[in-house]
Amino acid sequence: MGLGKTPRLLLLDLDCVTLYGGNPRDGLPPEVYLLHPDLPDTLAQFGAPVVLLTHRSREDADYLNRCLQAHGVVVQGIVSARELFLSALRQGKIRLLVNKGLSKSLALDWLERRYDCKRTDMVLIDDRAENLQELCDNGMQAGILAPFVAPDSFDQQAELTTFQFADVVAQWHAPQAWPTPIFTPPTCTRTLAELPLIGSLSSAKLSYFEQGRQLIKSLRRWQQRLFRSSVQ
Over the stretch 16-37, which tens digit does the pLDDT of each residue have? 999 999 987 677 889 999 999 9
Mean pLDDT for all residues in the chain: 86
Q: 7 or 11: whose pLDDT is higher?
A: 11
Burial class (CB in 10 A: 0-12, 13-18, 19+), 193: exposed
Q: What is the pTM of this model?
A: 0.86
DSSP string, 135-148: HHHTT-SEEEE---
The pLDDT of residue 35: 97
The closest alpha carbon to 121, from 40, 55, 46, 61, belongs to 46
Over the stretch 172-198, which tens digit does the pLDDT of each residue have? 888 676 666 788 999 999 999 999 999
Tell me if 84 sits within 8 A of 209, measured CB to CB: no
pLDDT of 213 higher than 80: no
Alpha helices in 51-126 (DSSP H): 58-70, 81-91, 94-100, 107-115
How would residue 1 be classed by pLDDT, with cut points 50, 70 and 90? Answer: very low
Q: Stretch 98-127: mean pLDDT, rounded?
A: 91
The pLDDT of residue 198: 96
How would residue 64 be classed by pLDDT, with cut points 50, 70 and 90? Answer: very high
Neighbouring CB atoms inside 10 A of 33's CB total: 20
The pLDDT of residue 214: 62
| Amino acid at residue number 230 | S
The pLDDT of residue 26: 73
The pLDDT of residue 124: 95
How would residue 66 be classed by pLDDT, with cut points 50, 70 and 90? Answer: very high
Q: 44 or 127: whose pLDDT is higher?
A: 127
Q: Is the bond preceding residue 185 a cis peptide, omega within 30 degrees? A: no
Burial class (CB in 10 A: 0-12, 13-18, 19+), 206: middle
How would residue 3 be classed by pLDDT, with cut points 50, 70 and 90? Answer: low
The pLDDT of residue 79: 97
| Nearest-angstrom CA–CA distance, 218 and 125 | 28
- Domains annotated on the chain, with CATH: 9-202 (3.40.50.1000)
| Distant-in-sequence contacts of 25-33, Cβ < 8 A, 24+ apart | 25/203, 29/154, 30/200, 30/201, 30/202, 31/154, 31/197, 31/199, 31/200, 32/64, 32/67, 32/197, 32/198, 32/199, 32/200, 32/201, 33/192, 33/195, 33/196, 33/197, 33/198
Tell me if 139 sits within 8 A of 79, measured CB to CB: no
Tell me if 43 sits within 8 A of 73, measured CB to CB: yes
